[in-house]
Structure 1
Amino acid sequence: MKIKNHLKNFLKYKYLLYELVKKNIKLKYRRSYLGILWTLIEPLLTMIVLTLVFGTLFGKDDPTYPVYILCGRLLYSFFSSATKAGLKAVSGNAAMIKKVYVPKYIYVVAAIVSNFVIFLISLIVLVGVGAVLKVEPTWHIIEGLVPLVILFVMTLGIGLILATLNVFFRDIEYIWTVVSMLIMYASAIFYTTERVINTGNGWVFNINPLYMCIANFRNAVLYGKPMDMSYCIHSAIFAIVSVIVGSVLFYKKQDKFILYV
């Protein structure tokens, strides 16, 4: 019954969610001359730099190496920017929270969704680069939607946890910056996993749900292979648990937010 009430309450504020998402996207590019085009240009420039640096450093002669980098870079970029936006979603809307009653989780959801919309737009770059480098799509590309959905749910769960903690402990913002950097280096964005596995440190990938999403996305988009079901199941479990923990934590602490924001 509670779930039904929460769903009804969420649908009641769906138009507010839409407006908040639109506002977040506009604010992100408010002072940019290129505007939303920067969503396409930035990952393309980053891919070129990483390909030149690490392609030369590691002696990569794989013509699809830029696509390999882009797959990891785009997914990590969404995860990083969305969790940071979710972290600040409650504390950053303190003035509104004090004046008008709105379910506070709406701000977190809007932060995650707006970044996901930007991420989806940025996938145009991946399509273009893949076409130029002649990466042939297979029917497995449809499976690429699965890791994206898992990644969204996972990011939402972590965003709710971080948003709650940041209200009471403002140092969380700085701690998460360091943690997200560690996650980036453990996600094989610009290096191949064989080098790490050969050193006996392959366990890093087996405990990193973000890498699992990236690996399955690469399988579907770049390699035309079926998903690794072990990675899919483990990352999905982590995503579901994170949403449950984040929702419960947020729900229990939200009445105290007004005292700290």
Structure 2
Amino acid sequence: MVLKNKKLWLGFAFTVLILFIYRLGYFVQLPYIRYENVQQLTSSGTMFGFLDIFSGGALSNFSIVALGVTPYITASIVVQLLQMDIIPALKEWGEEGEEGKQKLNTLTKYLAIGLGFVQALTIVLGVSVSQNDLFFGVGTPSGAMTYIYLAIVMTAGTAFVLWLADLITAKGVGNGTSLMIVVGIVASYPDMIDALVSKYLLADDAGVAQVFIFIGVILLMLVMMFGIGKMLAVINVTFADITYFYKIFTLFLMYGSAIFYQVDRLPLTMQRVMTILNPLYIVISIARECIMERSYPNWELWMILSLYAGGCYVVGTIFFNRKIADIVAKM
């Protein structure tokens, strides 16, 4: 039935078309820019390089869609924080149903445009300070109006991306903003994989054992993610509305984060426990040791990661199968 659903296929084709148009914006570059300098900056492990991952390389190319949907994400976070009894009107809008959501969505978009301009101006000024010859020296005015002009063009690109995202949400398949983020990240995968393979896995001093260790880490991580996905599926079905967990979870992260408690001030035993309880830290540690340092990871990290992966998969499978059996029994 799904394969024969014409409306679904049309929505899927429309979504692919919009995403293709979004990626075309990657090739529309801003004027006045020396792109080799920008690409050197974004590939040097700075914050610009981190932001470039989410834009699918559009920031290093300094295209009109370099900001992507990051201003909208920032605006959404700001609006949600202001709804927490900071601005009563926004809290009332959130309780007015669909009409209130439309008001909040409109406010978020306008705020995203404003934040986009500030972010664009900050990026242009930041790159120009770190790279003195960012602008072409001949025939290019490097005054304040040039910076403002580039920021306006990048902001217009953000507005265009948000419009495309709304089109996908309204007429396509899935949430447009989420798909824009996914496309931006996935578009960076080929370059990242090529750099990983050429610089580390196929280097002259790379060992075969290290390559297989890295593959094993990836497989264990996929097994763990698969188990977590099954557990989340059961939670979403069992608890139809879990929004009341958000505030509790947010407070837990707030008071447990290193922003409030610096890690180096904790006892060594507690530091070790905190790192062991973080599966992502273990994955990164093993990958760093076997790929970059050309050494064999600590067996304790392997054991802990294997326990995480096996435990998540077993528990997730048990709960998932039980939930499926309960649903079938009630039909």
Q: TM-score, normalised by structure 1?
A: 0.45
More RCO (CA 8 Å, sep 6+): 1
Structure with greater Cα Rg: 2
Larger helix share, 1 or 2: 1
Q: TM-score, normalised by structure 2?
A: 0.37
